């Protein structure tokens, strides 16, 4: 079994990936958050900083691009392959309305002819070096039934599926019936991505889809960075004795953010953003996050984090969680 770190734009960039790898195990691969298309025919090295070799090396990483035409994807792909990457993931799943409406991300899924044309052109130029990340469709899960036969024509390295449709964003339940149809009909190896927030959910999914061996974890890892290890060990009882690792990781991440981000406001906002998720590991998460979100300087932020460290009660990963309620409110 392989566990993948999901791309989470704004969260799982190299600072996070490296700090994470220094304190936690369990992750075998990461897909980097998407590079915007429009990097130009001549790619500027500074614009792919998240993928620089010197910024990576702990967790194997695959770059991802959000684009809908070969002229915007091929130059970036060639640059990355020359630089040493051997796979590029194409993002056909981003649900943000302003992106979808331009036929990018999940927006392209409603146009199977365009998907076919794009893949034909890309595979002419880039041969066997592409993987895809898709949803079940943009507006309907029926769309995937037209898409999979098209995708099957190409030697896709792997197919990552988030079993929602674009218009759902992250709301509602994942559609496991439609995902099951994909498992039966897709030729490429499938990576499952969606709502793995605790061991119980992972066990249920693994039992339902025994042929899947690649699982992707996104928000669940931000809720509880222990989750990949919990899944690999098939046991969560040990976490309560190792909570110090979360705080070490937190210090490390804070230090990275302070080193690599310039302005104090930027630094604080980034730290606060992570707590949108980290707070969910604790009882009274809303109060914790509310207090953190109100801080206006690093010292008061640190003070509240220290109070949580002293008095907060960890709950994530110790059994069924209530993250489903939380994500509805995001």
Ligand X SMILES: Cc1cc2nc3c(=O)[nH]c(=O)nc-3n(C[C@H](O)[C@H](O)[C@H](O)COP(=O)(O)O)c2cc1C
Q: Output 213 or 307, the one with its CB closest to ligand X.
A: 213
Q: How many residues bind ligand X (CB under 6 A)?
A: 21
> Which residue, chain included where needed, has tokens 């002229």?
71
Q: Is 96 in the site for ligand X (CB under 6 A)?
A: no
Q: Supply the minimum distance, in Å, between the C-beta of residue 244 and ligand X.
A: 25
> Which residue, chain included where needed, has tokens 């499938």?
190
Q: Is 7 in the site for ligand X (CB under 6 A)?
A: yes
Q: List the structure tokens of 6.
A: 């999901």
With CB under 6 A as the contact rule, the residue among 62, 91, 131, 178 that binds ligand X is 91
Q: Is 317 in the site for ligand X (CB under 6 A)?
A: no
Q: List the structure tokens of 10.
A: 């704004």
Q: Is 163 in the site for ligand X (CB under 6 A)?
A: no
Q: List the structure tokens of 20.
A: 């994470």
| Contact region with ligand X (CB under 6 A), list: 53-61, 141-149, 188-196, 241-249 | 188-196
Q: Supply the minimum distance, in Å, between the C-beta of residue 63 and ligand X.
A: 11
| Contact region with ligand X (CB under 6 A), list: 42-50, 55-63, 181-189, 191-199 | 191-199
With CB under 6 A as the contact rule, the residue among 62, 64, 106, 138 that binds ligand X is 64
With CB under 6 A as the contact rule, the residue among 26, 93, 166, 228 that binds ligand X is 93
Q: Is 33 in the site for ligand X (CB under 6 A)?
A: yes
Q: Output 4 or 79, the one with its CB closest to ligand X.
A: 4
Burial of 88 (0-12, 13-18, 19+ CB in 10 A): buried
Q: Supply the minimum distance, in Å, between the C-beta of residue 221 and ligand X.
A: 8
Q: Output 218 or 317, the one with its CB closest to ligand X.
A: 218
| Contacting ligand X within 197-256 (CB under 6 A) | 217-220
- Note the residues at the interface with ligand X (CB under 6 A): 6-10, 33-34, 64, 91, 93, 133, 162, 170, 193-196, 217-220
């Amino acid at each position: 079994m392989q566990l993948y770190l999901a791309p989470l734009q704004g969260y799982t960039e190299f600072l996070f990936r490296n700090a994470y790898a220094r304190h936690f195990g369990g992750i075998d691969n990461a897909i980097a958050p998407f590079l915007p298309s429009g990097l130009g025919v001549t790619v500027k090295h500074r614009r792919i900083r998240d993928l620089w070799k010197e910024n990576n090396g702990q967790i194997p990483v695959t770059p991802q691009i959000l684009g809908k035409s070969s002229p915007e994807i091929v130059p970036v792909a060639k640059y990355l392959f020359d630089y040493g990457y051997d796979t590029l993931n194409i993002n056909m799943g981003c649900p943000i309305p302003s992106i979808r409406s331009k036929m990018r991300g999940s927006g392209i899924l409603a146009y199977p002819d365009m998907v076919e044309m794009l893949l034909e052109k890309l595979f002419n130029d880039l041969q066997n070096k592409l993987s895809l990340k898709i949803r079940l469709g943009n507006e309907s899960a029926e769309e995937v039934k037209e898409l999979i036969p098209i995708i099957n024509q190409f030697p896709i390295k792997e197919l990552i599926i988030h079993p929602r449709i674009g218009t759902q964003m992250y709301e509602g339940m994942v559609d496991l019936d439609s995902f099951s149809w994909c498992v039966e009909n897709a030729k490429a190896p499938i990576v499952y991505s969606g709502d793995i927030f605790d061991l119980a959910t992972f066990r249920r999914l693994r039992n339902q889809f025994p042929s899947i061996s690649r699982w992707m974890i996104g928000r669940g890892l931000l809720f509880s960075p222990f989750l990949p290890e919990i899944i690999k060990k098939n046991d969560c009882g040990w976490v309560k004795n190792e909570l110090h690792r979360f705080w070490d990781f937190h210090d490390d991440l804070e230090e990275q953010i302070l080193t690599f981000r310039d302005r104090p406001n930027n630094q604080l906002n980034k730290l606060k953003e992570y707590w949108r998720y980290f707070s969910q590991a604790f009882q009274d998460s809303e109060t914790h996050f509310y207090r953190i979100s109100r801080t206006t300087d690093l010292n008061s932020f640190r003070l509240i984090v220290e109070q949580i460290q002293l008095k907060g009660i960890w709950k994530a990963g110790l059994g069924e969680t209530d993250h489903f309620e939380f994500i509805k409110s995001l």
